[in-house]
Structures are given as structure tokens and as C-alpha cells.
């Protein structure tokens, strides 16, 4: 595990929305929509990615369908930071993070 996700950002016709096209499918054929004010109760990868974008990426809304991620930004939304969060979402072993040993899984 730990392969980066390829991400291309596309400016939407909607002024505060950015669409990120990736090489990973997050939802299959289902649509998932998240709003900053609503709690995320799931623990699937799609739920965790949306939570990350809403908390750390300054997003107001996130819509994920297959490999497309639409983000409506809040004030101070940083498109490059959001892109970086998506690209590194599946990288588990980062500098400064200790790799768990076998004993920690039992």
C-alpha cells in the first residue's frame, strides 16, 4: 500500500467548484454527497476522504462519483492543498511516521 493517486484538477463552470479527476474509483457506480455541517458516520475510504477534504481542505461540500471528486470551496479554499490531500490519501508510510510491527496487529 502506499501508491500515490494521479489527480488532474478541472475548473468547473460553477465559480467556487473544482473537479478532481483521479485514477482510482472511490464509489463504484454510487454517488456520495457530503456537507461540512453534516456529520460523516461511515468509515469507508470514500467517507474518510470526504472528511479529510472537509476538515483539512477547507471544503464546504464534497461530491464523489466513481473517480471524480467535486469540491465546493469555503473561504480560503486552497485547490492545490486539496489536490495534495487526494494524491496522498493512500500513502500510509510517510516521513516521521513509524511503521507498525506485527505485534501491533494482534
Domain spans of the chain, in order of start: 7-92
User: By CB neighbour count within 10 A (0-12 exposed, 13-18 middle, 19+ buried), where does 45 fall?
Assistant: middle
pLDDT of 76 above 80: no
Q: Average pLDDT, stretch 34-63?
A: 92
Fold of 7-92: Ribosomal Protein S8; Chain: A, domain 1 (3.30.1370)
User: Nearest-5° angle of CA 5, CA 11, CA 14?
Assistant: 125
pLDDT score, position 1: 53
Contacts of residue 106, Cβ cutoff 8 Å, sequence gap at least 6: none
Q: Given pLDDT bands bounded at 50, 70 and 90, which one contains residue 90?
A: confident
The per-residue pLDDT of the chain, averaged, comes to 85
Q: What is the pTM of this model?
A: 0.81
Amino acid at each position: 500500500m502506499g501508491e500515490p493517486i494521479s489527480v488532474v484538477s478541472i475548473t468547473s463552470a460553477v465559480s467556487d467548484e473544482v473537479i478532481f479527476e483521479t485514477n482510482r474509483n472511490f464509489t463504484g457506480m454510487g454517488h456520495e454527497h457530503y456537507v461540512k455541517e453534516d456529520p460523516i458516520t461511515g468509515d469507508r475510504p470514500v467517507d474518510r476522504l470526504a472528511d479529510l477534504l472537509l476538515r483539512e481542505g477547507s471544503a464546504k461540500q464534497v461530491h464523489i462519483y466513481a473517480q471524480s471528486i467535486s469540491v465546493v470551496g469555503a473561504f480560503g479554499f486552497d485547490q492545490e492543498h486539496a489536490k495534495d490531500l487526494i494524491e496522498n490519501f493512500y500513502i500510509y508510510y510517510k516521513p516521521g511516521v513509524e511503521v507498525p510491527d506485527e505485534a501491533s496487529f494482534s
